[in-house]
Amino acid sequence: MTNGARDENVTLEALCRGDVRTCARLLTRIERGEEAVIPLLQALYRAGGNGRVIGVTGPPGAGKSSLISCLIGAWRRRGLRVAVLAIDPSSPFTGGAVLGDRLRMVEHGCDDGVFIRSMASRGQLGGLARAAGDALTVLEAMPWDVILVETVGVGQNETDIMRHAAVVVLLQTPLGGDEVQAVKAGIIEIGDVYVVNKSDHPAADRTCRQLREMIARGSRLRPDRDWQPPVIKTQAHLGVGVAELVDAIDGCFAHQNADPEAARRYMSDRARHRIGEILRDRLDRRLRSGDEGWLEGSIEPVVSREKDPYTVVAEMLSRL
Amino acid sequence: MSAGQGKKVIVSMIGLDGHTTGGEIVARILRDAGIEVVYLGCNQTPEMIVRAAIQEDVDLIGISSHASNYGQIVSLVELLKRNGAEDVPVVCGGNVPKHQARLLIEKGVAAVFPPGSGADSIIRFVLGNARGATAGLCVNGEGIA
Amino acid sequence: MMKRATDYGYAIKPVYTPEDIAELDYRRDLGEPGAFPYTRGYHPEGYRSRMWTQRMTAGLGTSRDANLVLKKYREMGQRGGMCVISDRVFSSCIDVDHPLGRREAGVLGWPGCSLLEFEELMEDIPLTGQSITLLGSCAPTTLRLAYVVALAEKRGDDLSKIHGSVLESPFENYFGQTDVQPFDLNLKLFLDASEYVIRNRIRMRAAIISQHFQESGGNNAQALALEMAMLKELCTLLVTERGLDFDDVATLPYELVSIGTRFFEEIAKVRALRRMWARLAREHFKAKKEKSCHLLIAAHTSGRTMTYQQPLNNIVRCAIQTLAGAIVGATAIDNATLDNAHAEPSPLAARMSLNTQHIVAYETGAADVVDPLAGSYFVEALTDEVEREAYAILARIEEMGGMIAALDRGVVQDMLREEAAKRFREIDTGERLVVGVNHLVMPPEEEFEIPVQELPPGDSEGIARRMEEWKKTRDLPLVAARLSRLHTDAGKGDRFNLMPAIIDAVKAYATAGEIFGVIRMARGLSYDPFNMIECPFALQ
C-alpha cells in the first residue's frame, strides 16, 4: 500500500465516522480545485450515497436561510443529523464574498448534529457546480441523514446545482410585485415543492394562485411526470407552515420511492448530469491549462483554414 | 485577481453585543480585498464561533467589539486552543481601551484595531497573518490532522 | 482633495446670497416661533420660558451602583431629569443568571431584569418632579413601563404626575443596535405599551428616533426621511389598529436627534424636522390640536464623531455640537463625550459633559434668543435642501408601502450599509478630515491616557448569583400563576394588549427572561431565544 492510499483510507474512515474537521479541510481543497483530492473523491463516491439531498432555492430576500433554520430544527427534533451547503455569489470584481447564510441559522450553532458550510461561487465557469457536486460527494459519504444545498435562485450555475438534489424546494415571496420571480429567473421547471414564504403578506394568496396555475400548465407539458408539486405557505420567522413543508418533502421522497421506475430515472439523470459536469470541467481545465500537447496537429489546420473548428471537434469526439 | 483570493475569514460580534455597523464595514473591506467573509452577525458565543471556524475552515477570526465584554474574546482564544485550532488567529476591532487591548494581546489576541484604523492596515494584517495554506488533511502524504 | 459637500452629498457653495432663498416665504415656510409650521420652534420665548433638560446618562454595575451615581448627579445639579441606560442583558430580555447574561450583567449599563432592580435603582430618588428616562432597546419597553407603574403604585405616587420616556420603537433593531427578540414581537409589544400609556394618560414618551440610524452611519437627509417614515407608520398603526385618536397619539413620540460636528447642517436638519412633522400632523393626520404639530426633540451629541485618538479633542467636538443643539432649541440634551470611543462615561467625562452644557447655556448667550440663525441665506438654503432630499427618500419608501415594507425588502438596511461604507471610505481616503485620525495624527505613545470607567471582572457573576438566590425567595406559586395568565393572554392575538398581564407579573417579581419567555412560547417560539435554558414553570 502506498503512503497516499493509506492516508486516503484514514481520511475515508474519518469521514465515515462523521469527523467534521476532516470534512471541512477536504471541502477547502475541493473549493481550491486541487487535483490531488480526486482519488479520494473517487473512493468517497463509491462509498457514498447516504442521506437525502434536498435543494432549496429562491430569490435573494425570500427567506431561504431562515426557512432552512426551521427545517433543521424540525429534522433535529426527529433525531436526524443535518448538513447544509450554503452557496452565495462571489463579487465578480474582486473575487471576495460576504457569506451571510450562517447568520440566520444561529440557533443551531452549538449542535453537534448540524454541520453548516458556506461556499462562495467564486465565479468560475461551471467550476461552482463541479465543486458543489464534489462537496456533496463528501457529505453523502458521511453519516448525515439530510443534506441541504442552498443557492440564490438566479442563473444557470444555481439551476445546475439543483440537479444534484433529489427534491428541490423553490421559495417565493409575495413581495416581488405582480410577477412571480421564478418566471423571470426561468427556474420554474425545477421545483418539486413550492413555498410562498412571508405568507401573511396581503399578496400571498395571489402568488400561490399564480404558482398553482403555472404548475398546472407545466404538468400538461410534462405528462411523464406524475408528481404534482404542492404549494405550501410559510412564515419562517414564526415557524408557521414548517411541519407541512417537512411532510411535503417526505411525501415527495415517498412518491419517488414508490415508483422504482421513476427512482431509477432520477438516479440515472443525476449520474448523467454529474458525468457531463465533470467532463465539461476537465475539458475546460485542459483548455485553460496552457498545455496544448493534446491538441497537437489540430490547431494549425484551423489557423490556415484548411479545416473548420467543427470538423476538428467532431473528430475529437468520435475518438472519445 | 485580488490579493485575498482563497483566504476565508470569520467576522462576528460576540456575546450580547448588538452593534453591527463596524463588523459590516470590515466585512465589506475584506470582501473588496478578495477575501471570503463568513459573516456571523450578533449573538454568537465563543463556543459557536469556534464551531463555525472549524466547519468553515477559516484562516482568521475577526471580532468586532462595542460592548466591553472582553472576557468573551479571551474565552474564544482559549477555546480555540482547546480545540486544536490555535493556528487560527483572532483579531479584534472596536472601542477597546488601551489597557484592555494590551491585556487581550497578552492573552493571545493577534491584534487590536481601534476605531479610525484604515482599511489598508486591516487588510495588510489579515493577509499577512491569516493561517497559511491548509495543511493537515491526510491525503497523498501531505500533513496529518 | 477635501470634500466640500453636505453629509448627504450636495455641493456647498463658497457664498450664499438672497437668490438662494428667493422662494422662501416667511409666513408659509418659517412662521414666528410658536406658530405653524414651527420651523423656528414651539415656544415664542424659547429657553427664556424653559431651559433645556441637561442630563447625563448613568448605568454601570449593580442597581445600587447606578443609584449612587444618580444621586451624585442630583447633587451636581442635574434635577430636571434622570437618564439610565440598560445593559445588554436586560436589553435582550434575558436574565442576568442566564448562561450568556451572567457574562455581561452590568457591563454596559444597568442590569434591570426585575422590579427589585428598579426599586434599588430609584431608592431615595423621586419618580415625580423630574423626567424619568430609561434607555435600552425596544424589547424591554413593556417592562420598563411596568416597573414605573408598579413602583408608583407602591409609593402612592399619582401616575399622571410622572413623566419621561421609557418606550423605544422596534426599528432600532435594524439600525445597528440589535436585540435578540424578533421584530414582529417587538412591534406588537411596542404598540401595547403605547396604547396603554395613551389610554391611561400617562405622560410617558416613546423614542421613535433616528439617532441609532445616524450613529450607525446614516446621513442627515436619510435620518429625516426615516424619522418621518417611522412616525407615520407607527402613528397610523395606533390610529387604525388600536383605534386611538391621532391627537392623543401625537403626545407619544419623541425624536432623539443625533447632532454631529457639521454645525450648520445639523441646525438645518432639526429646523426641517419640525416643519416636516407639523405638516405631516396637520395635512396627513388631520390634527385637530395645535399641540399635535409639535414633536418633542431631544439632542444627543454624536458618539460616532467622538474619536478614539486624542480623546481630549472630543471635548471641543461636544461643545460645538451642544451649541448646535441649543441654537436649534432642543428640549433636552445629553452628551456623548470625551471617552465615548473607549468606555461608558467616567466621572470626569460626565462632569465635562455637564460643564459643557452649562457653558453653552449661561456663558455664550445662545439661549437668550430663539432660532438665532433664521434668515441666514446659508442656513435657510440648507434647511430647504435637506428637507427636499428627505422628502425624495420618503417618497421612495412610501412607494414600497412604508417603513415596514421597505425593511422587509431590505432597502433601508442596504441604504444604511452603503452610507456607512461611504462614510468610512471618505475618512479612509482623506476626503473628510478628522483631527487625530487622518489629520494631525500623533504617535500613540505620546497620547494622553484618559481615565476609563469599567466594571471590575467578577462583578457580573456577582449580579448573576444575587439574582439566582433571590429568585428562590419569591412567592413562587404567585409568580407561576401570573406567568400562566400572561401566557394565556399572549395567545389571544396581536391586538390583545399584554400590558395589564405584564404589570401583574412584574409586581409579583417575575423577571425579564421569564416574562419574555412565556410570551415567546405563546407565539410558538422557544422560551429562551438562545435555546440554552428551558421554562422553569409549569404553565396552566
CA distance to A120, B93, C517, per residue, from B36 (Å): 7, 18, 37
Arithmetic mean of pLDDT, A63-68: 88
Q: Is the pLDDT of residue C148 over 90?
A: yes
Highest mean predicted confidence (pLDDT) among A5-9, A59-63, C334-338: C334-338
Q: Is C178 on the interface with B (CB under 8 A)?
A: yes
What CATH number has the domain bearing residue C400? 3.20.20.240
- pTM exceeding 0.90: yes
What is the model's pLDDT at position C154?
97
Segment B36-74, tens digit of pLDDT = 999 999 989 999 999 999 999 999 999 999 878 888 999
For residue C44, whether the previous peptide bond is cis, meaning omega lies within 30 degrees of 0, is: no
- Residue C353 corresponds to which cell in the numbers above? 459633559
Segment C448-479, tens digit of pLDDT = 888 888 888 789 999 999 999 999 999 999 99
Chains A, B: CB pairs < 8 Å: 122
Q: Closest residue of B to C304, CA-based?
A: B115
Arithmetic mean of pLDDT, C380-399: 98
Segment A168-194, tens digit of pLDDT = 998 888 865 545 555 554 556 778 999
Q: Is A76 on the interface with C (CB under 8 A)?
A: no
Q: Is the pLDDT of residue B127 over 70?
A: yes
Whether C417 is in a domain gets the answer yes
- Three-class DSSP category at B92: strand
Arithmetic mean of pLDDT, C80-87: 93
**How close A159 comes to chain B (CA, Å)?**
23
Any idea what DSSP says for residue A176? G
Whether C80 is in a domain gets the answer no
Q: Do A107 and C408 touch (CB under 8 A)?
A: no
- Best probe of the B interface among C87, C108, C433, by most B CBs < 10 A, is C108
Identify the weakest region by mean pLDDT among A102-116, A166-180, C49-63, C98-112.
Answer: A166-180
| Option in C101, C216, C308 nearest B95 (CB) | C308
Q: Is the pLDDT of residue A155 over 70?
A: no
Q: How confident is the model at residue C166 (pLDDT cuts 50, 70, 90)?
A: very high
Chains A, C: CB pairs < 8 Å: 19
| Option in A3, A7, A115 nearest B55 (CB) | A115
Q: Taking the domain B8-129, which CATH number applies?
A: 3.40.50.280
Q: Is the pLDDT of residue C178 over 80?
A: no
What ranges in A18-152 are assigned the alpha helix state H?
Answer: 20-31, 38-47, 64-77, 127-140
Q: What percent of chain A has pLDDT over 90?
A: 38
Q: Do C308 and B21 touch (CB under 8 A)?
A: no
What is the model's pLDDT at position A282?
85
Q: Is the pLDDT of residue A12 over 60?
A: yes
* Nearest-angstrom CA–CA distance, B51 and B71: 19
Q: Do A61 and C523 touch (CB under 8 A)?
A: no
Q: Is B6 on the interface with A (CB under 8 A)?
A: yes
Q: Is the pLDDT of residue C434 over 50?
A: yes
Arithmetic mean of pLDDT, B113-135: 86
- Best probe of the B interface among C424, C426, C438, C531, by most B CBs < 10 A, is C424
Whether C295 is in a domain gets the answer yes
What is the model's pLDDT at position C524?
84
Which chains sit next to A, with 3 or more Cβ pairs under 8 A? Answer: B, C
Q: Are B54 and B5 in contact (CB under 8 A)?
A: no
Residue C130: half-sphere exposure toward Cβ, Cα within 13 Å: 21
What is the model's pLDDT at position C464?
97
- For chain B positions 47-86, those within 8 Å of chain C (CB to CB) are 67-69, 71-72
- Check residue A201 and give left, alpha or beta (phi > 0: left; psi -120 to 50: alpha): beta
One-character DSSP codes across A241-283: THHHHHHHHHHHHHHHHH-HHHHHHHHHHHHHHHHHHHHHHHH
Q: Are C171 and C403 in contact (CB under 8 A)?
A: yes
- For chain C positions 464-503, those within 8 Å of chain B (CB to CB) are none
- Residue A95 corresponds to which cell in the numbers above? 473575487
Q: Do B52 and A116 touch (CB under 8 A)?
A: yes
What is the model's pLDDT at position B139?
32
Residue entry with cell 416667511: C26
Residues 6+ apart with CB under 8 A from C132: C81, C82, C148, C162, C163, C164, C165, C166
Q: Is the pLDDT of residue B134 over 50?
A: no
Q: Is the pLDDT of residue A117 over 60?
A: yes
Q: Are C326 and C372 in contact (CB under 8 A)?
A: no
Q: Are C230 and C208 in contact (CB under 8 A)?
A: yes
For residue A39, list chain B residues with Cβ-Cβ distance below 8 A: 140
Q: Is B121 on the interface with C (CB under 8 A)?
A: no
What is the model's pLDDT at position A16?
92
Every domain of chain A and the residues it spans: 49-279, 292-319
What is the model's pLDDT at position A124?
58
Segment A271-286, tens digit of pLDDT = 998 898 888 888 888 8
Q: Is B19 on the interface with C (CB under 8 A)?
A: yes
Q: Is B102 on the interface with C (CB under 8 A)?
A: no
* Nearest-angstrom CA–CA distance, A312 and B66: 64
Q: Is the pLDDT of residue A219 over 80?
A: no
Mean pLDDT for chain C?
95
Q: Is C176 on the interface with B (CB under 8 A)?
A: yes
Range of the domain at C396: 1-41+208-367+376-441
What is the model's pLDDT at position C397?
97
- The Cβ of residue A290 has, within 10 Å, a number of other Cβ atoms equal to 6
* Nearest-angstrom CA–CA distance, C158 and C12: 53
What is the model's pLDDT at position C407?
93
Q: Is the pLDDT of residue C252 over 80?
A: yes
| Option in B34, B41, B55 nearest A95 (CB) | B34
* Nearest-angstrom CA–CA distance, C91 and C110: 10
| Option in B24, B67, B98 nearest C449 (CB) | B98
Q: Each residue of A200-238: b (16+ CB within 10 Å) or e?
A: ebebbeebbebbeebbeeeeeeeeeeebebbbbbbbbbb
Q: Do C88 and B69 touch (CB under 8 A)?
A: yes
Q: Closest residue of B to A28, CA-based?
A: B57
Q: Is the pLDDT of residue B144 over 50?
A: no
Q: Is C418 on the interface with A (CB under 8 A)?
A: no
For residue A61, list chain C residues with Cβ-Cβ distance below 8 A: 409-410
- Domain A49-279 in CATH: superfamily? P-loop containing nucleotide triphosphate hydrolases (3.40.50.300)
For residue C408, list chain A residues with Cβ-Cβ distance below 8 A: 175, 198
Q: Do B45 and C100 touch (CB under 8 A)?
A: yes
CA dihedral A60, A63, A69, A70 (to 10 degrees): -150
Q: Is C137 on the interface with B (CB under 8 A)?
A: yes
Q: Do C434 and B20 touch (CB under 8 A)?
A: no
| Option in B20, B21, B67 nearest C107 (CB) | B67
* Nearest-angstrom CA–CA distance, B74 and B79: 9
CA-based diameter of chain A, in Å? 68
Q: Are C93 and C179 in contact (CB under 8 A)?
A: yes
C253-259 and B90-94 beta bridge pairing: unpaired
Mean pLDDT for chain B?
87
Q: Is C184 on the interface with A (CB under 8 A)?
A: yes
- Best probe of the B interface among A16, A22, A25, A88, by most B CBs < 10 A, is A25
What is the model's pLDDT at position A179?
54
Identify the weakest region by mean pLDDT among A77-86, B67-76, C239-248.
Answer: B67-76
Higher pLDDT, A129 or C289: C289
Which chains sit next to C, with 3 or more Cβ pairs under 8 A? Answer: A, B
- Best probe of the C interface among A198, A234, A238, A244, by most C CBs < 10 A, is A238
Arithmetic mean of pLDDT, C96-117: 95
What is the model's pLDDT at position A2?
66
What is the model's pLDDT at position A228?
86
Higher pLDDT, B95 or B38: B38
What is the model's pLDDT at position B145?
27
Arithmetic mean of pLDDT, A207-217: 83
- The Cβ of residue C429 has, within 10 Å, a number of other Cβ atoms equal to 13
Every domain of chain B and the residues it spans: 8-129
Q: Is the pLDDT of residue B135 over 60?
A: no
* Nearest-angstrom CA–CA distance, A189 and A180: 13
Q: Are A85 and A121 in contact (CB under 8 A)?
A: no
Q: Is B131 on the interface with A (CB under 8 A)?
A: no
Mean pLDDT for chain A?
84
